[in-house]
Structure 1
């Protein structure tokens, strides 16, 4: 299966992000159609991308991940800042950041630990070095996006507390507009977060 370990913001946070993005997205779609915007229900922070995950590796990863999660406390985060991958002058992805910096540093530690756990479980681990963000738009070809980064960088909040990490299976081309369809396969509640 194609999957990822992620943080999924609560509905009220997704609604606030969507309220911030809506006029910007609508302007792009009316005038340029430069970007393919992420559906609100698909907003997440990918900690580890798993392009090839067998059921056996998934079981081992979830076992190790449950132990890891039980040792972590819920983490307050804030949606702040913006950027583009690989760079604003040749962007393929627009994103909103997750911080503040001490939170981002902790999320980088989480991503390293979960990548290690996935590798030990026999999973194929993909992707580039972790940078905490919510992908909000993609382009099929590189674009100049400095104006977009400046516009999106005005985001101010919202805040939420991460209380779980989820394993999500991605079914390519099965969602609206041939986007992926996401299916939560398992939840790893953080220690002190209570039941999922």
Structure 2
């Protein structure tokens, strides 16, 4: 049985930052027991998750996004901290957070609106920019907030990089890297 194809738009993380994050994650793995760690080539900042899509609707979204981001200028982002989603003592996701960025917020709003205009039903929760780095706490002891301070020990200064591209990614669950850039927008 063929799996349904899933798509999402994301801010592309430059290769050198992916490698820096990989090194940090190797250190975090030693002290934070999560079931799975994101493959470093898959790091990205999701702007809008589409899920499954017909070819026509996907093409309309790509056309809309191309128009919406046509004049975007590269902008800096900073990775500043760790956070979690899920239960406080047994989180389902460990993520690296970003310093607030009006440029990122603007791009996300434009991409989101473009996808709505293409007929997609989208997530309605507020946008919380992050890099997912691990999933499913498996520690013998409950997760504790002080574990999030491990980031400051590994990286006392924010990691800065420039967002220069937006991509439409397709998910491949049984491959590494899991996410394939289908179309790039600069």
TM-score by length of 2: 0.84
1:135 and 2:139 are equivalent in the alignment: no
Deviations 1:139-158 (A, max 9, x none): 17896241332213553332
Label 1:17 to 1:27 Cα distance change in 2 as closer, same or farther (>3 A). same
**Secondary structure of 1:114's match?**
helix
The aligned residue for residue 120 of structure 1 is 117
Alpha-carbon distance in structure 2 between the residues aligned to 1:131 and 1:27: 25
Greater share of helix: 1
Shift of the alpha carbon at 1:126? 3.4
Number of equivalences: 178
Deviations 1:100-143 (A, max 9, x none): x2x1x332232222112111102232374211110111117896
2:82–2:94 contact (8 Å) kept in structure 1: yes
More displaced 10-residue stretch of structure 1: 150-159 or 77-86 = 150-159
The aligned residue for residue 151 of structure 1 is 150
- C-alpha RMSD over aligned residues: 2.3
Unpaired stretches in structure 1, ≥5 consecutive residues: 190-196
Shift of the alpha carbon at 1:11? 1.1
The aligned residue for residue 41 of structure 2 is 41
Label 1:27 to 1:170 Cα distance change in 2 as closer, same or farther (>3 A). same
TM-score by length of 1: 0.80
The aligned residue for residue 169 of structure 2 is 168
